[in-house]
Amino acid sequence: MPFALPSASTLLARLLVLLVGMPVHEWAHAWSAYQMGDDTASLQGRLSLNPLAHLDPIGSILILLTGFGWARPVPVNPNQMQLNPRTGMAISSFAGPASNFLIAMLCAVPFRLGLLSLNSIDVIGGSFNLATILWMSAQVSLGLALFNLLPVYPLDGEKVLVGLLPREWGDRLLALRPFGPYILMGVMFLGIANLLIGLVWSPLLRLLFLW
């Protein structure tokens, strides 16, 4: 099958991931770690919202072409944090997805206040007004947050879960890390990731904009 260029609305969504979602996500990791006493990311220039500080060239190109890619992980040293290392790592890891949830909530505010209407959204016709941009930003932000909360290494959800579980159970989860990337690829290939995210994504979107 020949490669098809993404539609204008799809390309916009992917640009939002690159220029907003991922930089904010990585900055949140760096900022939260810094607040707990770890300046590793700060010393490497990662305590910044500048996309150039976080984006990976190959991962960025793949996002634009396929919708799947990655940013450069923020370096975090939990042993420098003022909390228990596992707890500190869990907080720093959760900060990334939490920042994307916050973006989605802020995108919904103009609709909740009656300043914008859902009827103005046009993701098919290509007329990218403010309502469309905010709607797609919320969709992208929620998707990015939920994907990263999947409890599979190297995603943030695995580190959060290790910090929440009793130490013995956390150790068992850590033992699976060498297999994490393969498990993640399998979960994505089988469509399990999309299924799990979809079960939560749609209700959350309705909660933010409609209920």
Residues with a catalytic annotation lie at 26
pLDDT tens-digit series, residues 37-70: 999 999 999 999 999 999 999 989 988 887 778 8
Residue type (1 letter), 204: L
For 185, what's the count of Cα atoms within 13 Å in the CB-facing half-sphere? 3
pLDDT tens-digit series, residues 168-208: 999 999 999 999 999 998 988 888 888 888 888 888 888 88
- Cα–Cα distance measured from residue 209 to residue 78, given in angstroms and rounded to the nearest whole number: 37
What angle, rounded to 10 degrees, do the helices at 192-209 and 85-112 form? 50
Domain boundaries, the chain: 8-209
Q: Where are the alpha helices (DSSP H) in the chain?
A: 8-16, 22-35, 40-43, 57-66, 85-112, 130-148, 156-164, 167-175, 180-189, 192-209
Give yes or no for a contact between 62 and 68, defined as CB atoms under 8 angstroms apart: yes
What pLDDT shows up at residue 1?
A: 47
pLDDT tens-digit series, residues 109-119: 999 999 998 88
